């Protein structure tokens, strides 16, 4: 009886040790993705900080020339005829590839986030922003977080392209053209992707 008791106690001890090892192993597997996620988040924050610093620096350097041009013109470039007359130069000059690259990336991000909205049960993006007060802040924050680096890059590239094409950079135009190339495609595609997923789901349920 004493030997059996010792054997039973030893088996329980080994079972507990095995359970503890299993728990530690699972915890280790869970820690790796968390560490990786934290590293990715830190890298994204660094990239955002670098882009924001460069964009701010370029916009500040652009101010003297743009203010001088506005004084000579008698108005701001963004609200002048020259702004619209220079659009063909932007489309054919240095940096014209951004008119394709930036909307394409925005479309991919919008498709991804639209699928996430549908799976999470959130309303379509534009509808939620306009008509759902309880969801508005959440949707705006998620959208801004998704395209923030792309927006900064768009503003920076447009400001540099103006220098190369026009010989002067106008901060107001950069703050409009860059976000328009990104924000409009992103918002429209995010809402459309949500609708497509919901439509497919309703068609499947109807067929079944």
**Whole-number pLDDT of residue 166:** 85
The two three-digit tokens of residue 126, written as one number: 């534009």
Q: What is the pTM of this model?
A: 0.73
Angle between helices 171-207 and 2-73 (to 10 degrees): 130
Predicted pLDDT at 139? 86
Distance CA 129, CA 10 (A): 63
Q: What is the pLDDT of residues 141-164, one digit of tens each?
A: 888 888 888 899 889 989 888 888
CA distances to 3, 4, 19, 35 from 15, rounded to whole Å, are 18, 16, 6, 30
The pLDDT value recorded for residue 188 is 93
pLDDT at 2: 41
The DSSP symbol for 124 reads: P
Q: What is the mean pLDDT of residues 22-39?
A: 52
101 vs 88: CA distance, rounded Å? 18
Tokens of 177: 């053209």
Residue 186, pLDDT > 90, answer yes
> Do 194 and 120 touch, CB atoms closer than 8 A?
no
Residue 99 pLDDT > 90: no
């Amino acid at each position: 009886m004493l030997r059996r008791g010792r054997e039973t106690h030893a088996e329980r001890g080994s079972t507990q040790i095995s359970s503890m090892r299993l728990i530690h192993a699972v915890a280790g597997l869970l820690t790796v993705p968390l560490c990786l996620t934290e590293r990715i988040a830190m890298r994204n924050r660094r990239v955002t900080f670098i882009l924001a610093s460069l964009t701010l620096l370029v916009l500040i350097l652009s101010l003297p020339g743009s203010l001088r041009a506005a004084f000579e013109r008698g108005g701001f470039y963004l609200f002048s005829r020259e702004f619209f007359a220079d659009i063909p130069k932007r489309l054919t000059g240095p940096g014209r590839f951004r008119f394709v690259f930036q909307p394409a990336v925005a479309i991919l991000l919008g498709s991804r986030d639209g699928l996430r909205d549908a799976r999470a049960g959130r309303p379509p993006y534009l509808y939620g922003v306009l008509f759902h007060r309880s969801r508005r802040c959440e949707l705006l924050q998620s959208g801004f977080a998704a395209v923030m680096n792309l927006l900064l890059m768009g503003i920076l590239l447009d400001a540099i392209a103006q220098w190369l094409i026009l010989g002067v950079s106008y901060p107001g135009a950069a703050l409009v053209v860059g976000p328009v190339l990104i924000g409009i495609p992103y918002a429209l595609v995010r809402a459309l992707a949500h609708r497509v997923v919901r439509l497919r789901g309703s068609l499947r349920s109807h067929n079944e």
